[in-house]
Structure 1
């Protein structure tokens, strides 16, 4: 997939530079044409000769380096790249890119680029969690930059937390995805549900759950990139809608039920990743409930089971469900697949590190009616979304 692709790797000054040597080697082994740019700080960790040897190309280190009569260096690198990878992306280069500062070779290449940019942060946990850095990461994400979220673990400075350069396999997956020409969902219409529902108790209180919506939004984003017409029915989340996706915002389970049923006959596939509340208050107070007694009893009643209803209705559609479990994952998943007439269930144990609500990664098992189970390792949610869509393509062929 990467053969002949022009990938520019911008290396900033951080201890993770030594890992990027392997990344460059991996890209070259995949027959990509790799150009490396190094800051002065990066050269304090690893010499340019290392990357020159691994890439097979000259390593760029100076903004003003130019052969007489030759092209303008930063423009040539920017216009000639299919992808720019910033790894490790320090707080400094992230801040420059987010705020339009171009005062060295890497930052000027980024400013001049029209190709995708993948940012791979790596730094001390306190630096990464700094509100300024988080703001800058958010700015880049909102501008369409791709982010390879850093991992959690022991850092070179001796502290523990999020800040390690993402695993190289994950970075390679993202590079392959970004440069993929895969449009295998062209002509298909996919409905995705995402996020939680909120069930009001009174005008100021409600029942909800911990779902962030990240998984469903990743599925919708990936499906749109692969050519599908996507409608995303979303509960309340703090996420930006994926580009090219129709978004229907709902709050309660009944609202989600109505939105799904209204559109079910018009789609080819449904991926129900929303965490729909199983119960709602039987009576919703019109006024705020005052604090009078030491206890308060709220009677709950069942919400409609959207997934089970779709299982009864489906004809040509592929129906994929999600299940968040805390025990007996496989057994509970198999029961749901059969009881709800699903084509596939994505099951995850939310007690595992990196698999719970609100995380940027997931650990899932894909469970099928035949009893086949595909166990996937921990990966970012966009990668998991593409694994799910790979299976969707196979399932759709079985419906034709």
Structure 2
């Protein structure tokens, strides 16, 4: 623990109830957070704030049992709206005057799931869900439930209810399994799945392959050559596409950074494994788009030394030979794939960088994200340029902006 000099916190533009925006995927969307009577209800204020970080307007509905585990004051502070704890002449369960884009039941208890399946409407939550199901069947809203309960409650009745609700179109988020129980996933995972559920992006359901990270090459059974790139940008691109509902798959080279577990990805431990995984994915599934942000090794040892080379001596020779250019191999084998590739340079001018990117476009690539080391270092944020046919280069500052620009570009191609 470091010593504290007892100074006050630095000032902030955020008010007491405000949350910092992490994205806008729920901007302008009204979300009903339905809270049932399980111990996991104590986490719902954090879920509400996580939803708001994506721009959502959140209203909490609670059963009387839920209020044993979470307070009205906490929920009102978290949502900045009055909590619906009982139904009045305003018919809060119908929400006619201000309809919801989605209903999120978290936690969804055994009791609520089974009542929902049979259409029982005997309280705030179940009556609201009865109306929500009707709206869902009319195509006016979405419903997502997050089951949480002790493992002994997962019986045939529950399984049948889940299957019935699934067949009706209710989205059922898999719980986090731990200690013999169905537990709530993290707040971020819940928000991500809700974003995917209600996305209206043209990329929803579109298959997209993304690559990222370094692709190490072995020297011997222990040592390897790699580069300093982490692959975080590839994961951010994947998450942006995933939030928009794309059927995205990331091939991530092994390094110091691992993507969030909720993203669909495979880990490539070496250059050879990376190449094999890319070709395998493209052969097994039809991908209209590929985004190649991996920092692929340009050289590899001509011969991998056996075992572990003894330490303390001099490694006199390490003959390096060029690796196969993955994007060129992909372009040759899969000519219909629309490819967004990356080009990193150092010791070149801005004009030279753009010319290099434009030359690549002439070889048939759809778009190039070009950047130079000098511009990264100058302001501390990654600066890149989206270079496409018939448009001036678009400057992008920061990894998140780069990811959003790529997703926007693919949306234009899809629309």
Distance 2:258 2:72 in 1: 37
Q: 1:354 to 1:393 in 2, by over 3 A?
A: farther
Distance 2:302 2:186 in 1: 44
Unaligned 5+ residue runs, structure 1?
A: 1-12, 34-70, 82-141, 147-176
Would you say the 8 A contact 1:224–1:244 is kept in 2? no
Distance 1:184 1:32 in 2: 18
Q: 1:310 to 1:295 in 2, by over 3 A?
A: closer
CA shift for structure 1 position 145: 5.2
Give the TM-score of the pair, scaled to structure 1. Answer: 0.54
Distance 2:277 2:361 in 1: 23
Of the three residues 5, 14, 36, the one matched with 2:9 is 14
CA shift for structure 1 position 293: 6.3
1:314-355 Cα shifts (integer Å, max 9, x gaps) = 34422100111112421222233334x210011111222468
Q: 1:268 to 1:32 in 2, by over 3 A?
A: closer
Would you say the 8 A contact 1:192–1:233 is kept in 2? yes
Unaligned 5+ residue runs, structure 2?
A: 1-7, 22-26, 31-70, 82-184, 190-194
Aligned to 1:234, the other structure's residue is in SS state strand
Distance 2:218 2:231 in 1: 19
Distance 1:312 1:372 in 2: 27
Q: 1:288 to 1:240 in 2, by over 3 A?
A: closer
Aligned to 1:202, the other structure's residue is in SS state coil
Of structures 1 and 2, the larger Rg is shown by 2
1:101-148 Cα shifts (integer Å, max 9, x gaps) = xxxxxxxxxxxxxxxxxxxxxxxxxxxxxxxxxxxxxxxxx94559xx
Alignment correspondent of 1:312: 332
Distance 1:298 1:185 in 2: 46
Of the three residues 301, 304, 321, the one matched with 1:301 is 321
CA shift for structure 1 position 292: 7.4
Would you say the 8 A contact 2:204–2:246 is kept in 1? yes
Alignment correspondent of 1:391: 409
1:250-302 Cα shifts (integer Å, max 9, x gaps) = 12222111111111142121100100101100000012233676562211112
Of the three residues 336, 356, 359, the one matched with 1:335 is 359
For residues 52-91 of structure 1, what are the structure 2 equivalents within 5 Å? 72-80=72-80
Aligned to 1:231, the other structure's residue is in SS state strand
**Matched residues, number:** 248
Answering whether residue 241 of structure 2 is matched by residue 223 of structure 1, we say: yes
4+ aligned runs moved over 4 Å, structure 1: 30-33, 142-146, 291-295
Aligned to 2:203, the other structure's residue is in SS state coil
CA shift for structure 1 position 394: 1.6
Of the three residues 241, 261, 276, the one matched with 2:296 is 276
CA shift for structure 1 position 204: 1.9
Of the three residues 302, 306, 310, the one matched with 1:286 is 306
1:162-218 Cα shifts (integer Å, max 9, x gaps) = xxxxxxxxxxxxxxx99x955331120111111001101112211100111100000
CA shift for structure 1 position 309: 1.7
Answering whether residue 372 of structure 2 is matched by residue 352 of structure 1, we say: no
Distance 2:270 2:222 in 1: 14
Alignment correspondent of 1:102: none
Would you say the 8 A contact 1:224–1:230 is kept in 2? yes
